[in-house]
Amino acid sequence: MNATVTAGELLRRLLAVAGVDAVYGAPLEGVPVTPVADPAVAELLAAAHRRVHRTPSAVHVGDRRLVIGSAVGPVSGSMVGPAVGPAVGPVVGPVVGPVVGDPAGTDERVITRAEELLDPLPGAVALRLDLDLGGAAPDAVPVPAPRPDRWAEPDPAVVEALRRCRAPAVLAGPGVVAAGAVEGLNAFATGGDLGVLNTWGAKGVFHWRSRHHWATVGLQARDFELGGLADADLIVATGVDPDEAPDDRWRLAPTVTVAPGALGPLSEHWRRPPGELGVPPLRSALAVVTQEGWASAALPLAPSRVTLHYGDVFGSGGLVAADPGVAGYWLARTFSTTVLGSAQVPARRGHGFAAACALVARLRRPARPVLAAVDRLSPATAAVLEAAACLGVAVPVEVWDPGGPEVTADDHLERLRRVAVTAPSGPVAVRTDAGQLGRMIDVAGPVVAWGGLGP
């Protein structure tokens, strides 16, 4: 048995203890890395990994700088979060690294346990690694510390507010998914006989046919009002991302905020008997327009007919991801989610995320049915596809091109079935009916997600 452990091996073990199960970017001694030459693409893949696999990931940007992200990273342009700032300190022993976004390096934190890399971690940290330290003693190998008690006793003030209210509603965001608290949300909604609005980063927290699923919201100006929050006497907010749900749009009634991890315990402290759980006008009005598109075979295809096909082919075990824009709006709005994580659309405007999600999904499961839906082939998307080709991974892309070909409903569905299981020769295009968007706007107002659908 070796008496020492190399710094690279120690780093690999430390990352494993911290839960980091993938590193993208430049090669790094002692650590398995998915090779990606472009640091911007590597950061996109790491963000997509956190969304698709719901596990932490890291990027080796070169020059021995390792960026370790939080559970779900935002996407802005072709980069993930803010640019990487300076970092100092060896990885063996205490690790010192400024929080990314603090270019002056003044906000330093000392990491003495592996868990501190990620728990609790408000954002990402950038570490400069010294792998020339020679061997480390075996007792330097990190050992998982005892996990703290994850049972969060409910706030008595929240329990009392729930007991007093008569018409509560829940707004759930992607923080519920990132915290692994979907079961707790289900228990809370079932025990309290509650309707739940989810923003698009939390699509799938309920099956779309569930009586507790009221609607996906945040995409249009009147979503929260028509979704029932204006008629509630108490809004329970949990895991909300302000990029998907700015405060000034949804705080239409008295509000309590519940940490996602406290939802399960809260369900044991407050219950209501089952009753008539009505459907808010948003869901029923949007359903009329959506289902008209489902039934139409007219050309060009209705966007909701296209997303219906997405659900048929990729909805169970597969994945469809879209960049913000027209394709992203329709996927977030009308994809009938039956499996958590089967539809992915980021909260911030940018390009390349859809293709990155498809790539990281197939890196883990090569035969998984995947599709990237985009409005155009941006340079960021092209860069991800180039990286996919270097890795030997086929990434199907469908472009929602207003000047593209008119494809019949039957041909479109058959084409999707083929690209789900075979290596595509390149991106394909589909033209959709722009008029259906106007009917959706008549129902719920202009699109406000990502600042609107403009360029």
Phi-psi domain of 306 (left: phi exceeds 0; alpha: psi -120 through 50; beta: other)? alpha
Question: Which pLDDT score is estimated for 360?
Answer: 98
Scanning the structure block, which residue is given the tokens 């035969």? Answer: 367
**H or E element in which residue 59 lies:** strand 58-62
CA distance 204 to 144: 32
Average pLDDT over residues 14-37: 90
What confidence tens digit (pLDDT) does each residue in 337-395 have? Answer: 999 999 999 999 999 999 999 999 999 999 999 999 999 999 999 999 999 999 999 99
- State mean pLDDT over 35-40: 96
- At 142, give phi and psi (nearest 5°): -65, 145
pTM comes to 0.88
Q: Tell me what pLDDT residue 83 has.
A: 28
The predicted model gives 75-87 an average pLDDT of: 31
DSSP 276-340: --PPPHHHHHHHHHHHHHHH---SSBPHHHHHHHHHHHHTTT-EEEE-TTHHHHHHHHH----ST
**Which amino acid, residue 404?**
G
The pLDDT tens digits of the residues spanning 254-306 come to 999 999 999 999 999 999 998 888 889 999 999 999 999 999 999 999 999 99
Which pLDDT score is estimated for 92?
34
User: How much is the pLDDT for 424?
Assistant: 80
Q: Among residues of the chain, what percentage have pLDDT more than 90?
A: 71
pLDDT given at position 89: 32
Does the pLDDT at position 111 exceed 90?
A: no
Q: What domains does the chain contain, in order, with CATH numbers?
A: 5-140 (no CATH), 156-277 (3.40.50.1220), 283-451 (3.40.50.970)
The backbone region for 372, taken as left when phi is positive above 0, alpha when psi lies in -120 to 50, beta otherwise, is beta
Q: Is residue 119 pLDDT above 60, yes or no?
A: no
How far apart CA 199 and CA 180 sit, in angstroms, is 16
Query: Read out DSSP for 123-183?
Result: S-EEEE----S-EE-GGGS--PPPPPP---PPPHHHHHHHHH-SSEEEEE-HHHHHTT-HH
